[in-house]
Amino acid sequence: MNSQTDRIFSQPLAEVPDFVFNEDVVNVFPDMIKRSVPGYPSIVENTGLLAAQFARPNSVLYDLGCSLGAVTQAMRRHVDQPNCNIIGIDNSSAMVKRCQEYLCAQDAMFQTLLPAEIIEQDILQVDYQPSSFIALNFTLQFIEPQQRIVLLKKLRQALIPQGALLLSEKIKFTNADEHQQLNELHLAFKRANGYSDLEIAQKRRAIENVMLPDTFEVHRQRLLDAGFSKVYLWFQCLNFASMIALP
Ligand SMILES: C[S@@+](CC[C@H](N)C(=O)[O-])C[C@H]1O[C@@H](n2cnc3c(N)ncnc32)[C@H](O)[C@@H]1O
Ligand SMILES: O=C(O)C(=O)C[C@]1(C(=O)O)C=C[C@@H](O)C=C1
């Protein structure tokens, strides 16, 4: 169950396949995401704080595209509301299986935690229950672009009036210089975390067709079009950002 160092793209590949969240990725995922996403640990921990701020009794907290449940675990550390439960959803069976094991380990360590269940499902197919907090932590970028507004409208409908949606994403920039500078800084971040140029190039090739970032302006407008009334950027580190959207 121990996480390993990410060496998935360290050897030259004749052809780099599209990135999938399979067993190989699951084995290295905590290391991969920490070394690839600037600010990831801060975003996860503060998501627990944000969830505690918005969580209301008798409601569900969702962790969509939960992977190994880092956000679910942070919410469980911070949220203490009566009759609240967490539902984590991911469509990768390998992720769901490992996530359930990690949550059992968390259950064994703490006595009073919100109940949490992890479900294997496509987040586009879910009938959402009334919710006070929904986290999409680096997940929307993997959803087909035309489906993003459909999903956000559904989530807006599920949110109770005092609730909030958290959206973290890799972002593009409209200004070409800003885009290039921040992408170069992101490459420097990856190199400083021990990734070689080969690993960086092969990973980029693997995700270019499956992970499609938008600009902050596109996210903001789409959230407003989905029916949210306010969108606040609460975190940015290089080309990775997190925002909250309020009903
Ligand atoms: C970058 S990871 C998310 C990281 C995670 N939220 C965290 O904070 O550690 C993206 C996740 O979204 C999941 N995913 C992608 N498309 C999905 C879909 N349509 N339905 C459910 N999960 C999806 C992937 O399997 C993957 O585990
Ligand atoms: O942009 C990159 O290079 C990334 O690796 C980003 C990213 C992400 O943002 O989700 C992509 C896939 C991996 O799951 C981890 C990180």
Q: Which ligand is nearest to the CA of 122?
A: 1
Which ipTM was obtained for this model? 0.97
User: How far is 211 from 138, CA to CA, in rounded Å?
Assistant: 10
Angle (deg, nearest 10), helices 40-54 and 23-36 = 90
At residue 122, the 3 state secondary structure works out as coil
Q: pLDDT digits over 14-64, tens only?
A: 999 999 999 999 999 999 999 999 999 999 999 999 999 999 999 999 999
Q: Ligand 2, residue 32: give the atom nearest the CA.
A: 15
Rounded CA gap, 2 and 197, in Å? 27
Q: What pLDDT was estimated at residue 186? A: 98
In the chain, the number of structural domains is 1
Asked if residue 33 has its Cβ within 6 Å of ligand 2, the reply is yes
Output the CA 83–ligand 2 centroid distance in Å.
Answer: 34
CATH code: domain of residue 138: 3.40.50.150
Cα(130)–Cα(132) distance, integer angstroms: 7
CB of 68 closer than 6 angstroms to any ligand 2 atom: no
Q: Decide: pTM greater than 0.90.
A: yes
* Domain interval for residue 99: 1-246
Pairing label, strands 85-90, 60-64? parallel
- Amino acid at the residue 38: P
* Residues within a 6 A CB radius of ligand 1: 21, 33, 44, 65-67, 70-71, 89-92, 95, 122-124, 137-139, 142-143
Helix count (H) and strand count (E) of the chain?
8, 8
Q: Does ligand 2 come within 6 angstroms of the Cβ of 239?
A: no
Lowest mean pLDDT among 21-30, 48-57, 108-117, 166-175: 108-117
